[in-house]
Chains A and B, each alone.
Chain A
Amino acid sequence: MITIDQQQKLLLNISRRLTRKITIYAIGGTAMMFLGFKDSTLDIDLVFENEKDREVFKEAITSLGYLSMDAIAVYGKKRNTPEMFKLSDERFDLFINEVIDFIFSDNMRRRAEQIHQFEDKLILKIADPHDIILMKCATDRIKDKDDARRIINSTKINWNLIIDEAKNQMELGKNRAVFDLGCFLEDIKTGMNLDIPMDVLDKLFLIVEKQAKDKRNIQ
């Protein structure tokens, strides 16, 4: 587990080891800590804009002693899994643009308004809470549902924004996005007794139905 203070020290240490300035997006527990939803996290999930930036970051964390680990242990055989690095309890999950079956879209980048700069070289943008929910749906690890519950319970959710982004994901070629989101939200609604409006799920599954019909018509 890493606390807010420890995380800041770690990010400062990484910044000092970077060979050039990079901008990255925090999408998971780290983002939740900066937004005040959590006090500590196990894994630091980051999205990079390109492979070169991830390489520079990887060099910095390996110089701190982080070791590469196999993503299959955590994500199974999913697509677009991150490169993972571990040191004792702490873990970095490093994605590039795509997070499993979702794309970290331009809209998501625009919504990441909160910025934290560590010395001169590391700029960390914090994903919007709505997008963190979508990313939690994408990664869907054991603790992700609990994190999504925490966000939904602590802040006012604009469900239309989430539905619109799921549609946007479809337009970007991520056909499973709406279906995955519908299932994820249905799971946490029933399993955790969360107050997710029924019409949100209806809208999502209506889109899935239409998607299926369109596919059949094409065939």
Chain B
Amino acid sequence: METRELVQKLEGIQTIESVMDILKVNKQMAIYYIHRLRKEGYVKTKKQSNNIRVYSISLNNKLRGKSYYEIINLYSPIKISTPIIYNIYGKEISLEETLIYAIKTKSLRTILASLALFKKINDWKKLYHLAKENNVERQVGALYDLSHKIIKVRRMNNKFRNNALPKEKDKFEYIIQGLKSNDFIDIEKKWKVYIPFNKKDLEGYK
């Protein structure tokens, strides 16, 4: 079987048993195929608490870049699958950049999962600079206040808050077009930004 065909069939999270099932082969052959793919860089192995090995098989593993989604999944209790490949090479991805990327995706689940990043974000100067560059200062502020209601977060720097708060002439903006909150109207008014979540959406953080 060609490597690409093998990767396509096994893409995702597998165990030896699931590999045997998918490829309709015996255990020895399943181990051989995993070994072959690992040698070529397509497999990441993890051991579960019950000692079972779990194989994450993907074409992306071979490329060795790091993605924003990996960073979000590292810190968030809400795990997301990778809708698109956006790999970064040769530099450490900061949490601040990851948050801005998440907001710019305009994806409900990605933004929801990224709220957990506020637990670790502490470079407010960098965050403000990135937010301003991408015109999402108020969105960041509103999402911070939302996170503050559901998880323990680091204190937002006053300079960030003062600079990001809306001016009188500013109009309301959406984070995700057309989505408003019924439960967080206070935050929406403060930042002039519509929050795309209700209380029920945030249950994953309990």
B59 to A116, Cβ gap below 8 A? Answer: no
Task: Name the residue on A nearest B89 (C-beta).
Answer: A118
**Complex interface bits, B77-101 against A, C-beta within 8 A gives 1, otherwise 0:** 0000000111111110000000000
A113 to B88, CA, bound (A): 14
A117 within 8 A of B: yes
Total count of chain B residues near the partner, CB < 8 A: 18
Q: Contacts A36-B7, A37-B4, A114-B85; is A119 near B90 (CB within 8 Å)?
A: yes
Total count of chain A residues near the partner, CB < 8 A: 18
Q: Contacts A11-B89, A12-B89; is A4 near B62 (CB within 8 Å)?
A: yes
A115 to B4, Cβ gap below 8 A? Answer: no
B106 within 8 A of A: no
A154 within 8 A of B: yes
A15 to B86, Cβ gap below 8 A? Answer: no
A35 within 8 A of B: yes
Task: Name the residue on A nearest B40 (C-beta).
Answer: A39
A8 to B66, CA, bound (A): 13
A120 within 8 A of B: yes
Using Cβ atoms and an 8 Å threshold, which residues of chain B touch A4?
62-63
B204 within 8 A of A: no
The number of A-B residue pairs with CB atoms under 8 Å apart is 47
B4 to A113, Cβ gap below 8 A? Answer: no
B12 within 8 A of A: no
Using Cβ atoms and an 8 Å threshold, which residues of chain A touch B170?
none
A154 to B87, Cβ gap below 8 A? Answer: no
Q: Contacts A114-B85, A115-B85, A154-B5; is A36 near B62 (CB within 8 Å)?
A: yes
The prevalent SS among residues of A at the interface is mixed
Residue of B4, B7, B89 touching A117 (CB-CB under 8 A): B89
**Complex interface bits, B1-19 against A, C-beta within 8 A gives 1, otherwise 0:** 0101101100000000000
CB distance from B139 to the nearest CB of A (A): 22
A4 to B65, CA, bound (A): 12
A117 to B59, Cβ gap below 8 A? Answer: no
Which B residues between 40 and 84 are near A, CB-CB below 8 angstroms? 59, 62-65, 84
Using Cβ atoms and an 8 Å threshold, which residues of chain B touch A179?
none
A119 to B97, CA, bound (A): 13
B4 to A8, Cβ gap below 8 A? Answer: no
Chain A contacts to B: CB under 8 angstroms = 4, 8, 11-12, 15, 34-37, 113-120, 154
Supply 14 further A-B pairs (C-beta < 8 A) apart from A113-B84, A119-B91.
A8-B89, A12-B90, A15-B90, A36-B59, A113-B85, A114-B85, A114-B86, A115-B86, A116-B87, A116-B89, A117-B87, A117-B88, A119-B89, A154-B2
